Chains A and B, each alone.
Chain A
């Protein structure tokens, strides 16, 4: 019998455990899923907490309940992985041996790596909405914020859900308008990138949307220090951005045990992974997906879901001694909440950047365009997440490989603009 061990019972670990449980009978394979706590956070929901649109208790469920019968669930912290001995050492002294290991322990926030960020002012005038606790504390701070300088800062890429900080700006603009105090708030988006976003077409759209909302954009700003007392972000090249309230997205690392396991990860603790097969570069019987994988893709739930489909097939190929399927194409998509009950959608992969058009086909959700339909899609997605994505059901029309039908390439788009 094959022993499959999955580290992490978040999005990737859960959906892979459930899909593998369907793929193998209990006589063929044992599946063990390990996590260090029993709080499964629907992370896309965190964005809405600061604005009182949802609450932490509505987006957190027990991890164990999301796993199908027949998946062993262990509540334990991982100390390190011994790739040669094919053994996971746990902090409590226990150990788990495996035939196949799947790393799905996500990314962790590293606010302590930025000077001053967790010092005086942290959780008082400097917040992050990337944790349930931070998002709740920010909700209280926003409720009593009557005007001044609000700064939203991404310390360094990669971060989870790279569009979330921009969505936060759009929602804050909406929130202050609803409260009738928008003109008393100066908003600034401060990014280490050279534009509002990484991919050129989407960066142009999103940059324009910040401008329309009078949100100042500061680019190529690498935060070296946060002065919570003086209210200043200070870059490594000694530029300063003043604030009364700062929303900071800290640098991210992989799980600490990855960096402690020789060969498994890079210097930040992200697993060195083949970008098409999702197999570890260090060891053929190790695979990784989701935020834990060091791939040039967004750290996002949709990516994890698309990766999961390919990974589950490859675990089966590997255990059968067959060649792996190198078909993960970097497919990612996400809804971008833009305020006023509207949202945009972007869909892209390793080769094709976000474009206009529709998803998943010629008829579908509008891409790179604000619409109420996308907002409804974003709201509905939470239901799909718990009831369809985690259980490992296929959503009709949504596949791992990125669809090209429905997309307008840039040249066609220009032509269309010229005609209109």
Chain B
């Protein structure tokens, strides 16, 4: 757990760098979290996924998996990996300020 100031706001991040309070999130924070992951500038396609992650989290309580994103977000899996390399579901969740998708185990 660490406390950091991003965009003038004091934020608590867990050990993996996810916001502990998703309600603190805003677009400036997303830009900074993305920058730390080596992603930027954020394009419309990035924002499409980030907003989709937030709305999924708000309605379902958890972010979607990669395959679910591929089926429902309107962005194909191949492109998701170009936008958010290595782990799109995890990385997009982190930038969207929601918890790591728990869809597994």
Q: Which residues of A contact B (CB under 8 A)?
A: 113, 156-158, 162, 192-194, 197-199, 220, 222, 224, 236-237, 251, 266-268, 296-298
Q: Contact at B78–A158, with CB atoms within 8 Å?
A: no
Complex interface residues of chain B between 57 and 105 (CB less than 8 A to chain A): 62, 65-68, 71-72, 77-78, 80-81, 85-87, 90, 102-105
Q: With a CB–CB cut-off of 8 A, which chain A residues contact B81?
A: 222, 236-237
Partner of A298, one of B65, B71, B80, B105: B105
Q: With a CB–CB cut-off of 8 A, which chain A residues contact B90?
A: 194
Q: With a CB–CB cut-off of 8 A, which chain B residues contact A192?
A: 66
A238's closest neighbor in chain B, by CB? B81
Q: Contact at A267–B71, with CB atoms within 8 Å?
A: yes
Partner of A266, one of B66, B68, B77, B78: B68
Partner of A220, one of B67, B80, B87, B105: B87
Known: A157-B103, A193-B104. 5 other contacts (CB 8 A): A156-B66, A194-B87, A236-B80, A267-B68, A298-B105
User: Which of A220, A222, A266 has the most chain B CB atoms closer than 10 A to its own CB?
Assistant: A222
Dominant SS at the A interface?
loop
Bound-complex Cα distance A193 to B87 (A): 9
A159's closest neighbor in chain B, by CB? B104
Complex interface residues of chain B between 21 and 61 (CB less than 8 A to chain A): none
Q: Which residues of B contact A (CB under 8 A)?
A: 62, 65-68, 71-72, 77-78, 80-81, 85-87, 90, 102-105
Partner of A158, one of B66, B85, B87, B103: B103
B81's closest neighbor in chain A, by CB? A236
Closest chain A CB from B102 CB (angstroms): 5
Bound-complex Cα distance A105 to B48 (A): 34
A-B pairs with beta carbons under 8 A, tally = 50
Q: With a CB–CB cut-off of 8 A, which chain A residues contact B102?
A: 296
Q: With a CB–CB cut-off of 8 A, which chain B residues contact A268?
A: 67-68, 71
Q: Contact at A267–B86, with CB atoms within 8 Å?
A: no
B67's closest neighbor in chain A, by CB? A156
Q: Contact at B68–A158, with CB atoms within 8 Å?
A: no
Q: Contact at A236–B78, with CB atoms within 8 Å?
A: yes
Bound-complex Cα distance A266 to B90 (A): 19
Q: Contact at A224–B87, with CB atoms within 8 Å?
A: no
Closest chain A CB from B23 CB (angstroms): 21
Q: Contact at B71–A158, with CB atoms within 8 Å?
A: no
Partner of A296, one of B62, B66, B68: B62
Question: What are 30 A-B contacts with C-beta separation under 8 Å?
Answer: A156-B66, A156-B67, A157-B65, A157-B105, A158-B103, A158-B104, A158-B105, A162-B104, A162-B105, A192-B66, A193-B104, A194-B87, A197-B105, A198-B104, A198-B105, A220-B86, A220-B87, A222-B66, A222-B87, A224-B78, A236-B80, A236-B81, A237-B81, A237-B85, A237-B86, A267-B71, A267-B72, A268-B68, A296-B62, A297-B105
Bound-complex Cα distance A156 to B69 (A): 13
Q: With a CB–CB cut-off of 8 A, which chain B residues contact A157?
A: 65, 103-105
Q: With a CB–CB cut-off of 8 A, which chain B residues contact A158?
A: 103-105
Bound-complex Cα distance A156 to B105 (A): 11
Q: With a CB–CB cut-off of 8 A, which chain B residues contact A193?
A: 104
Bound-complex Cα distance A197 to B104 (A): 10
Q: Contact at B68–A199, with CB atoms within 8 Å?
A: no
B105's closest neighbor in chain A, by CB? A198
Q: With a CB–CB cut-off of 8 A, which chain B residues contact A162?
A: 104-105
Q: With a CB–CB cut-off of 8 A, which chain B residues contact A197?
A: 105
A114's closest neighbor in chain B, by CB? B67
Q: With a CB–CB cut-off of 8 A, which chain B residues contact A198?
A: 104-105
Given known contacts A193-B104, A199-B105, A267-B72, is B77 in contact with A156 (CB within 8 Å)?
Answer: no
Q: With a CB–CB cut-off of 8 A, which chain A residues contact B66?
A: 156, 192, 222, 236
Closest chain B CB from A223 CB (angstroms): 11
Q: With a CB–CB cut-off of 8 A, which chain A residues contact B62?
A: 296
B68's closest neighbor in chain A, by CB? A267
User: Which of A197, A198, A224, A296 has the most chain B CB atoms closer than 10 A to its own CB?
Assistant: A296
Q: Contact at A156–B65, with CB atoms within 8 Å?
A: yes
